[in-house]
Amino acid sequence: MKRLLILIIILPLLYSPALADPARTRQITGVVTSIDVRNGIITVRKKDREVTINIKDRTKIRKCIKRDSIRDIKLGDRVTVRYREEDNGNRATSVTIK
């Protein structure tokens, strides 16, 4: 009986919409094809797909171990970008320069 009660309480929490939010987090690894330092925007191409991503002040940009900024990203760099799909565009949470 206790197990059933626990399941009844826990299962709805596991499937709540609040927990579904991480599904909007994406990742792309590809080549930088466009950089707009002034507006903080990069475009990354992976095979036949291109994604435009906003880089904000709180975006973590790393090359090896040291921290970098959007100014350190160059055209043709191979990067891995973790980003969130938001209503006003894609917002980077981290950029790793390879």
Query: 83 pLDDT exceeds 50?
Result: yes
Tell me the pTM: 0.69
**Do 27 and 85 meet the contact criterion of CB atoms below 8 Å apart?**
no
SS3 9: helix
Residue 41 located in a structural domain: yes
Total structural domains in the chain? 1
**Please, which pLDDT band fits residue 24 given cuts at 50, 70 and 90?**
confident
Residue 39 located in a structural domain: yes
Query: 73 pLDDT exceeds 50?
Result: yes
Q: Which domain holds residue 51?
A: 22-97
**Do 44 and 62 meet the contact criterion of CB atoms below 8 Å apart?**
no
pLDDT of residue 50: 95
Alpha-carbon distance 38 to 15, whole Å? Answer: 41
**Please, which pLDDT band fits residue 68 given cuts at 50, 70 and 90?**
confident
Residue 4 located in a structural domain: no
Tokens of 93: 């949470």
> Higher model confidence: residue 20 or residue 85?
85
CATH classification of the domain holding 85: 2.40.50.320
**Please, which pLDDT band fits residue 62 given cuts at 50, 70 and 90?**
confident
